[in-house]
Amino acid sequence: MKNKDVFIFGLAIFAMFFGAGNLIFPPEIGLASGREWVKAALGFFITGISLPVCGLLAFSQVGDTDNFAVKVSEKFNTIYFMLLIIAIGPMLGIPRTGATVYEMGIVPNFGNINPLVVSSVYFSVVLLLVIKPTKLIDIIGKYLTPIILIILAIIIIKGIVFEIGSPGEKLIDQSAFSYGFLGGYQTMDAITSVLLGTIVIKGLKESGYTDKKIQRSMIIKSGLVAGLGMALVYGGLLYLGSMVSGNDLTLNRSALTMYLAVATLGNLGKVALGLCVTIACLTTSIALVAITSDFFSKQFKISYKITTIVICVLSAVLAATGVGFIVKIAIPILTLLYPVTIVLITLNIFKVKEKLIFKVSAYTTLFFSVFEIINKYNILPEIGNFLNHIPFGSHGFAWLFPTIAMAVLTKLTVMISARSGLRLRKIRNLSLTGRKF
């Protein structure tokens, strides 16, 4: 294992995860958390950094999407990945890249052009690059990604050194940690990681790392490199957001990130950040469209080209609705998918073999996640009262304690049943041999 390869794969993992949400959500979380930004950062780092890396590691244990949740059931695995693909694909992930490019790359530099026109042009470019890959994709990944990091580093360092503001009071009712933790859902990196795992494993094999133990070691070490890079970028943006919380600003997510760029780099910041956003979103959307098209073309036996066209058209229409609308429809979907993904990642990492534990844990998490969605929209107030009596329920983690409790009880039941079965077999064997006991 070469240190150079660890570093290269670390940068590759960083590039795969770094997209639209990674730019717009950290500053907003910092702004809302104010002086408690460190607590918010810890929560965000768990769902925005640790879980995606753990997702890659969990995928390396199973090696294929067909095996990731199959211990729950084959039907569950199929439905789970179908919902996952729809979420990161034409429903949320892909359209959000187009909407973010419009709000942060086009409007600040070119004015209010019709969003549907912009999204149509953007996804036409994406379509061409996905159907007919060119060296442009390699150029973006190898040369322009470092430029993005340099621009962001200048914004973060200059903002900290010249103190663009000072942290104010927390602007949210819930704890800063839970706000950051739940905010990390919006990056969608953890649910994306179980799909990007195929690309990482393939890349490792092509580089000569075929042994599974070495692959896991490479993922851990490369993940630490990627995690460090993400922590520096996310932490810096989150802190800058907290610094302006005392300035009494009322800005949406996209406008806040643009404000930070202009406050540190002047009018040049608009162009620099617009370039960053466009490149980051383009690389992310190309990868997501390719993964989504491949999945649906195999599932429904449809031409890859036709599937790609349909996804790009749907994404262009949704992107025109704006980031705010896409984030709103993302909340219930991610509230349902993220907890289940966390549970499946954990069970796969610890190599849990019992199918019953997978079933009980997955369905318990789903049950309480549905309750969480009902509570978010205040459909039944009684549900909220019920969730508040569960440990961590008032912080948005009502699924956590019941899932752990049910998993432990199931494990104990399996162990007791196994021992009882072993004892009965011994008694039967002794009876057959005529020995007394």
What are the angstrom distances between the C-alpha of 42 and each of 20, 29, 54, 303, 386?
A: 20, 11, 16, 44, 27
Q: At what angle do helices 189-206 and 3-17 cross, to 10 degrees?
A: 150
Q: What is the pLDDT of residue 310?
A: 92
Which residues neighbour 396 within 8 Å (Cβ) at sequence distance 6 or greater?
A: 174, 178, 181, 182, 372
Q: What band does 1 get if pLDDT is binned at 50, 70 and 90?
A: low
53-65: average pLDDT: 81
Instruction: Tokens for 179, please give them.
Output: 């706000």
Q: Which position has the token pair 């799909």?
A: 195
Per-residue pLDDT tens digits for 367-397: 998 888 888 777 777 777 777 788 877 777 8
CA distance 58 to 52: 10
Tell whether pTM > 0.95: no
Of 31 and 88, the structure prediction assigns the larger pLDDT to 31
Give the integer Cα–Cα distance in Å for 23 and 29.
11
Residue 253 near residue 104, CB atoms below 8 Å: no
CA distance 112 to 241: 25
Please check the confidence at residue 139 and state whether its pLDDT lies above 60. no
Residues in the chain: 437
3-state secondary structure of 247: helix
pLDDT band at 437 (very low <50, low <70, confident <90, very high): very low
Instruction: Please say whether the beta carbons of 392 and 378 come within 8 A.
Output: no
Q: How far apart are CA 397 and CA 369, in angstroms?
A: 9
Please give the share of the chain, as a percent, with pLDDT higher than 70. Answer: 92
The amino acid at 23:
L
Q: Which amino acid is at 38?
A: V
Phi-psi category of residue 322: left, alpha or beta, with phi > 0 → left and psi -120 to 50 → alpha: left
The pair of three-digit structure tokens given for residue 393, joined into one six-digit string: 């329920």
Report d(CA 175, CA 130) in Å as an integer.
42
Instruction: Let me know: does 360 contact 140? Beta carbons within 8 Å.
Output: no
- Would you state the structure tokens that stand for residue 171, as one six-digit string? 């602007």
pLDDT tens profile 286-338: 878 888 888 888 888 888 889 999 999 999 998 988 877 777 777 788 888 88
One-letter amino acid identity for 218?
M
Q: Which residues contact 389 (CB under 8 A, 6 or more apart)?
A: none
247-272 burial, b at 16+ Cβ within 10 Å, e below that, comes to: eeeebebbbbbbbbbbbbbeeebbeb
* 140-153: average pLDDT: 74
